[in-house]
Structure 1
């Protein structure tokens, strides 16, 4: 386990009042369980939403630290994963930003390095996944190839309203403490940038 990451994450929860990763994802995971009880799931899909076809997931400092912590706890942060992250970045040019002229950056798509092909393809536990991943679900039974899937913006907004204030404080603290110059980055880029700062 990366002791710096563990200590920093504990500090956010114990000193900054950040609710736990499980609590801040509970409304999204409860929704997924509710959909599952109605036979609405991803089991008939090959997981296109996790590939370069649709995925452009970005994470803020907190979500990046949480995922980094999860990977270390499960002994998955290793040279093989680092090489895979670098390959995803290189193949999709994720480290090259294109300004849209509207004050935002063009979001490039990429295949998630934590995606295993086929149903139930994500290898990250739901309590640690990015919010955007948890909020993107099928809307009807038997959905496949993204045929009836969407982001539940109302649910994501509900989650944000519950925890935004505490998350803003913690994100600002992380940015200042670690000297981060970004609010959100493509997940592979964010993980490697965090590792560069926290690696022992």
Structure 2
């Protein structure tokens, strides 16, 4: 097995390779505005550093969000394109699950990432492997009481310490954690999400209402 993991649902553009036993290479860069520019060079650097060719990949794993529309679709389109070209399966995983897995917490906690608009994407977990709720998007103050007393992992917790006083690392997504989680799930015969975007809300770009239609004369 050679699993390629990709996630662009957060400001982190992150990729990793996993051989079924352990992570063998990883590349990450945090830049919320350059996902499209950074992803393919990161994959090239990852493979070159590991001395491997893209054709050796047997499975692709991609973070499906939740995340902002533009960044999220970069990773999904890239992952599905690799899967199509290589003829290999593409497995979707919730991005929040990757952060939860990386936390290695064995107690109840939550994960919160920055959703912009003064909101967070979040979910509750029983431990680092067990998500208890569906991902949601809310204002921090609106969920502070629900999460009171719980550690909260991720950039969303660090952005709003008044609502999430027990903020924990990691701050950013890691494809290495996503790859390790995927390898465990594959070995156990567990199911994955389809490689489709989990937006939770409409994109910022909208078609204007009542726009004037110009027809040729």
Q: TM-score, normalised by structure 1?
A: 0.25
- Greater Rg by CA: 2
Structure with more of its chain in strand, by fraction = 2
Q: TM-score, normalised by structure 2?
A: 0.24
Structure with more of its chain in helix, by fraction = 1
